[in-house]
């Protein structure tokens, strides 16, 4: 659970003894999910909580005619389905976008564990706050940004989240299809492909064997209007390179 600990400790230092009790809990089950496997199904009782060790998952909603809206991606070190603590039915699907390994806790066991340590409980609260911020940004991304801005912004967000979980690479191992990107950003797969092609021609990104490399970080950030503050990461993890100087005088900071 090193990636989880790295993420949680960006908010609060966790004493070694408290982390040892949490990470070595005998009731946890480590499960492997195949690519495409449904992990959480809408309408089913929400009874367990997942911590991702390896792989990607997509959270999405379906509407009556079969169209899909992806709301977020779960990456290494992410926790999902904390709504199980409230004994609710799932209102969304979670599907493995890649082969995925996760620790699985019953909601009762998870609640018992976080009650034992205020530091761990506060850290999971921070993780929930971060996810809420990501969802707010997703609304802005779909509602107000252009196609180029949407794709650039999502790539920068995923890059920052992966780095917070321990990745040191500037490239993004993007385990997502054009359809995934389209269903996340309110575009068509064709529109996504054309927009990605423009970003490549402009020298902002390059692609090779499933990896996207950001070639011009500052220009891509200015295009997207990207400011990592909404991820609530300390500067050591967020990095000065994730702040967009243009925002100081830009419309994103202006009052209505």
Q: Locate the domains of the chain by residue range.
A: 2-128, 145-253
**Which DSSP symbol is given to 240?**
G
Strands 79-80 and 29-33: what pairing?
unpaired
> Tokens at residue 39, please?
């992990």
β-pair partners for 172: 212
Strands 93-96 and 79-80: what pairing?
unpaired
Does residue 217 have a pLDDT over 60? Answer: yes
Residue pLDDT, tens place only, 130-172:
889 999 999 999 999 999 999 999 999 999 988 887 776 667 8
Residue pLDDT, tens place only, 103-114:
999 988 888 888
**Which are the contacts of 167, defined by CB distance < 8 A and separation ≥ 6?**
none
CATH for 2-128 is: 2.60.120.10
**Which DSSP symbol is given to 85?**
G
Q: Measured on CA atoms in the order 30, 36, 37, 39, is the torsion positive or negative?
A: positive
* Fold classification of 145-253 (topology level): Arc Repressor Mutant, subunit A (1.10.10)
Cα–Cα distance measured from residue 74 to residue 219, given in angstroms and rounded to the nearest whole number: 27
Rounded to two decimals, the pTM is 0.85
Mean pLDDT of the chain: 85
Which residue blocks in the chain are alpha helix, DSSP H? 2-8, 16-23, 107-115, 118-144, 147-164, 178-185, 189-201, 217-224, 235-238
Query: Is there a contact between 197 and 240 (Cβ–Cβ < 8 Å)?
Result: no
Angle at 224 between CA 75 and CA 169, to 5 degrees: 40
Per-residue model confidence (pLDDT) at position 120: 82
């Amino acid at each position: 659970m090193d990636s989880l600990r790295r993420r949680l400790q960006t908010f609060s230092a966790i004493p070694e003894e408290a982390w040892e009790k949490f990470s070595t809990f005998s009731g946890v089950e480590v499960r492997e999910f195949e690519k495409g496997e449904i992990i959480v199904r809408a309408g089913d009782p929400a009874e367990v909580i997942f911590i991702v060790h390896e792989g990607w998952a997509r959270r999405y909603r379906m509407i009556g005619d079969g169209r899909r809206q992806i709301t977020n991606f779960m990456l290494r070190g992410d926790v999902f389905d904390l709504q199980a603590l409230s004994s609710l039915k799932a209102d969304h699907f979670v599907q493995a976008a890649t082969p995925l390994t996760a620790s699985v806790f019953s909601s009762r066991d998870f609640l018992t564990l976080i009650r034992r340590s205020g530091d761990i409980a506060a850290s999971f609260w921070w993780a929930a706050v971060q996810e809420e911020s990501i969802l707010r940004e997703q609304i802005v991304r779909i509602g107000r940004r252009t196609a180029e801005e949407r794709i650039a912004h999502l790539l920068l967000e995923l890059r920052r989240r992966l780095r917070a979980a321990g990745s040191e690479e500037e490239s993004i191992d993007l385990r997502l299809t054009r359809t995934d990107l389209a269903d996340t950003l309110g575009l068509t797969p064709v529109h996504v492909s054309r927009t990605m092609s423009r970003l490549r021609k402009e020298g902002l990104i390059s692609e090779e064997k499933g990896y996207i490399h950001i070639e011009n970080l500052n220009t891509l950030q200015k295009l997207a209007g990207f400011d990592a503050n909404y991820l609530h990461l300390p500067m050591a993890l967020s990095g000065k390179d994730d702040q967009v100087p243009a925002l100081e005088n830009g419309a994103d900071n202006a009052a209505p």
